[in-house]
Amino acid sequence: MRTIDDQIEMRVLAYYMSQLGDNSMRDVLADPDTDLHNESARGIFQIDRSPTDPERQLGKNLNFSMVYGGGKPAVLRYLTQFNNEGGNVPVTWKYAAEVLDRFHMRWPGIKRVVSALEVTYRDRGYLKTVAGAHLHPATTHKILSAVNQSSAAEVMRAGLRTCHRELRECESHLVTVIHDEFVFDVKLSEVDYLIEHVPTWMDYPKIGKIIPVTVSLEWAHTNWAEKKGL
């Protein structure tokens, strides 16, 4: 059985945004009927309709570009990809800047987070993760990326510890962790038990006690090529 923590980096970002008064991303992530990447695409293209698949992909790329420290060069690559998938937009520095401006209009709290982190780092000489660990980024260029990814790793470790502890009385066991996925070797008689409890165990470290961790499950008997959603 495989579990996937959905959009863990975006949930960490939503936590930091909410600390500065912007609950927009938190509210979207808390609504099971609303897709975060669709919301970003609507902001980028200034549309009310459902985005096309290429439009949604551009929104998704922009979302993760923010937490990995991307800028206009990354946006240019995403625009080229968008056109290769059937879109028709200018691949220019000017248009890339416009796309970023629209993105930040949809999620204004991101710039607040970056500014607050820069001020804190300048004043203190270090930053704190969600769990309170001290960070000393080598540069300020990817300051949000450093804090976000370190915090996301803490959330994953907390879920890992909880799953390991709760499985001590089971014959099933945790095999490995791949980025945001936990892979379990599951005894058939315990499948239903794990389906019921693993999402709760992995949501144990609810980010800052306000952002839920959403978990999806997949199951395969012998071959991952035959996996099915649960």
DSSP the chain: -EEEETTHHHHHHHHHHHHTT--HHHHHHH-TT--HHHHHHHHHHT-SSPPPHHHHHHHHHHHHHHHTT--HHHHHHHHHHHHHTT-----SHHHHHHHHHHHHHHSTHHHHHHHHHHHHHHHHS-EE-TT--EE--S-STTHHHHHHHHHHHHHHHHHHHHHHHHGGGSS-EEEEEETTEEEEE--GGGHHHHHHHHHHHHTTT-BTTTBPPPEEEEE-SS-GGG-EE-
8-141 adopts what CATH topology?
Answer: DNA polymerase; domain 1 (1.10.150)
pLDDT digits (tens, 9 = 90+) for 178-230: 777 888 888 889 989 988 888 888 775 566 666 777 777 887 776 666 666 66
pLDDT digits (tens, 9 = 90+) for 66-118: 888 788 899 999 999 999 999 999 999 999 999 999 999 999 999 999 999 99
* Annotated domain spans of the chain: 8-141, 152-229
Using a pLDDT cut of 70, give the percent of the chain over it: 90
pLDDT-based confidence at residue 175 (cuts at 50, 70, 90): confident
pLDDT value of residue 82: 96
